[in-house]
Structure 1
Amino acid sequence: MSSTQALAAKAKAMYGAHLTKSDYEELLRKRSVQEIAGYLKNDTHYDKILEGINESSIHRGYLEVLIRQRLFLDFMQLIRYGETQNHNFYQYGILQIEIKQILLTLRFLKETEKGGQISQLPLFANKMTSFDLQKLVNVNSYDELLTVLKETPYVAILVPLKPKPGEELDYTSCEVELNSYYHREVLSHINKEFTGTAKKQILEVFNTQIELDNITKIYRLKKYYKSSPEDIIKVLHPTYVKIPKKLLHKWIETKSADEFVEALSNSAYKSAINRKDFVYIEYHMDSIMYNINKHFIRFATDPNVVLVAYMNLLEIETRNIIDIIEGVRYKVETDKIAKLLIY
């Protein structure tokens, strides 16, 4: 078996151990973070990452750190089987981590309590990132963030967005520009390093994710911020997969948030979104990505397509577990937590 075939076989085998419907039902019966930790440690494929913990006394934040750590460790394990010529493409996982942590730091700039940021800090990835992740915890100003990032491409992106004295930070612009950089980098690597069916399938995954991110932005900006069509269009990435640009822009200009959902329910995404059964926009977008990635991990033969599909599915599983942990923490009704889960 070649190394690339081994990557696909390994990823599919790892996916075979994913949490099942019965696992989620069992987790939903748990009444404490400690009970959740005990089940994950003793009855699921999270046994290795949780090995050695004392589940009877583990803190919620630490449990979430370990669950998130699984994402990076699986990614590193799988790319060892990959082809060296795709090394640049494999950086997409590191780029994701870096940009997420920069945005998290921007959100916590004015916070004195950094516990929420620390709990999401993937220090296990520090050897692979272009800057020291741990230094982000001590950042309390925009200038301090630029200092941490001084040897990276992110400085050129963030310097023009630095707020002037007396101005508020424009977080949305930072998010848009950083995500645009991520998309450009990833799509550039895909176009350079892949051909044929593999290229088509990987582009489908990444471009669909971009389109769904655009849909989420449109809905949220209309629903919660009452943004103008011009302001909405400015923050979108120019990628269109199933909804043509002309049609999407028409919806932005003429429809309210609820009417936008109604239009989506009659579009190519109608099987995943229905105004009558609307949960929240991210849930429906994640459901679409779940089904796309589930299809590719079952039927794709190119190892890189399988890798991307596996990582996306594991990320959804990670969010499911975090939602259950947070639901139990805040004593949310079980049926309400269950409605958030995608599997």
Structure 2
Amino acid sequence: MNGLLSYSGLTTKIRAMESHFLSDADFRNITELGSVLEAVNYLKKFQSYESVFNTVDENELHRASIERMLRQSIYRDFAKIYQFSNISQRKFLDLYFKRYEVIIIKECLNSLFDQRNLTIDLSAFEEFFQKHSHLNVSAMSSSSTLPEFVDAMKGTDYYGTFSKLLETEHPTLFDYEMALDLYYFRDIWKMKDKLYTGQDLKDLTTAYGSKFEMLNLQWIYRSKKYYHMSSADIYALLIPVKYRISNQQITAMVEAENLSTLESLINQCFYARQYKGFSLDNLESMYADIMRHILSSASRNNPYSVITLYSYLHHKEHEVDRLIIALECVRYRIASDKAMNYIKKT
């Protein structure tokens, strides 16, 4: 009853926002268009993207600006949900908000390592961001050296992680991004137990536990197939979470002598037994399918709960990722059927 009273208004708001998600037919229509400009004009028919693109000069619609504007639609939706939430619901949103801070930190890091100028566009999110974040985005984006960049992060939750990396020899962009991701994932896994109990905790544990373990499987596979990394280096990349896969299974996978042995071990894990079509070759697409299934099912079964917030934000970000791929397919004139295969695998 408490969940119903607390979440009824917010759940109604989220269900209304979900009604504006694009269907597979909409994605098909986009892939059949003749130009990116036609695709953008098509998106203007949808409430989620109308306000993003309507005020923009068509001459300014290049690849980076379009992707940036699509991301802005995510931030706008997050701010809408936050404004409609109560204090308890905002605890989860504050935790989730770190995801957007991580994205901005990575943008700044990439710019620094590439030695290029960067302008962070927070136009649709600036007021909210300034109120809720301790990041000094201006100082970070204008930093010309790593020590200067790390110094700009003093007073934030990320400073300790980054300052330790400065003490290592020749840290790379990969090192910084992995350290940032691992910090963020550990923080979520720890904080959910402090913030929630009962069904909320159970749903979040299932969602995040599955997410992190699926990411670990992908990292083990990529590390062995593409990078030929040592076992010690692979262990350093893994998210320290145990949910459906035991430590013994992880150890066996990391220590596997070849891809054939790894495939056999992965085929014995919980996710391979639980989900049809699961295999070594389609880990990324299965990750998307599994997360979509878990969050949609949990949100449907427990609509008046925190999982409804997580489900909406996940699906919104997933839609934007698919849109970016769809627009790239239009740009390079990839046949519609082939484009839809790419989109559905995302």
TM-score if structure 2 supplies the norm length?
0.86
- Distance 1:297-1:255 versus aligned 2 partners, 3 A rule: farther
SS of residue matched to 1:126: helix
Q: Report percent identity of matched pairs.
A: 22
- For residues 245-281 of structure 1, the C-alpha deviation after alignment (integer angstroms, 9 at most, x for no partner) is 21121022115346534543453323265449x35x4
Please state if 1:139 is matched with 2:143.
yes
What pairs up with 1:159-178 in 2 under 5 angstroms? 159-162=163-166, 167-178=169-180
Which residue pairs with 1:36 in the alignment? 39
- Distance 1:259-1:287 versus aligned 2 partners, 3 A rule: farther
Please state if 1:70 is matched with 2:67.
no
- For residues 8-39 of structure 1, the C-alpha deviation after alignment (integer angstroms, 9 at most, x for no partner) is 22112211221101101001112322111101
- For residues 173-210 of structure 1, the C-alpha deviation after alignment (integer angstroms, 9 at most, x for no partner) is 43333223222332333212211111100121122111
- Distance 1:336-1:248 versus aligned 2 partners, 3 A rule: farther
Could you tell me how far 1:227 is from its partner in structure 2?
A: 0.6
Please state if 1:155 is matched with 2:177.
no
- For residues 68-125 of structure 1, the C-alpha deviation after alignment (integer angstroms, 9 at most, x for no partner) is 111111112112333313443321232111122223322332323346x757998635
CA distance in 2, matches of 1:224, 1:174: 20
What pairs up with 1:69-218 in 2 under 5 angstroms? 69-114=72-117, 118=120, 124=126, 126-127=129-130, 128-162=132-166, 167-218=169-220
Which of 320, 326, 334 is the aligned partner of 2:322? 320
Contact 1:262 1:275 in 2 (8 A): no
More helix by share: 2
Contact 2:75 2:125 in 1 (8 A): no
Contact 2:108 2:141 in 1 (8 A): yes
What pairs up with 1:238-317 in 2 under 5 angstroms? 238-257=240-259, 259-261=261-263, 263-270=265-272, 271=275, 273-275=277-279, 278-279=281-282, 281-317=283-319
Structure 1 residues without counterparts, runs of 5 or longer: none
Query: Greater RCO between the two (CA within 8 Å, min separation 6)?
Result: 2
Could you tell me how far 1:225 is from its partner in structure 2?
A: 0.8
- For residues 283-332 of structure 1, the C-alpha deviation after alignment (integer angstroms, 9 at most, x for no partner) is 33122212212222322233311000110111111100111122333444
CA distance in 1, matches of 2:328, 2:182: 30
Structure 2 residues without counterparts, runs of 5 or longer: none
SS of residue matched to 1:47: helix
CA distance in 1, matches of 2:237, 2:204: 24
Contact 2:76 2:125 in 1 (8 A): no
Contact 1:105 1:137 in 2 (8 A): yes
Please state if 1:60 is matched with 2:56.
no
Which of 328, 331, 340 is the aligned partner of 1:329? 331
TM-score if structure 1 supplies the norm length?
0.87
Q: CA RMSD in A?
A: 2.8
- Distance 1:341-1:130 versus aligned 2 partners, 3 A rule: same
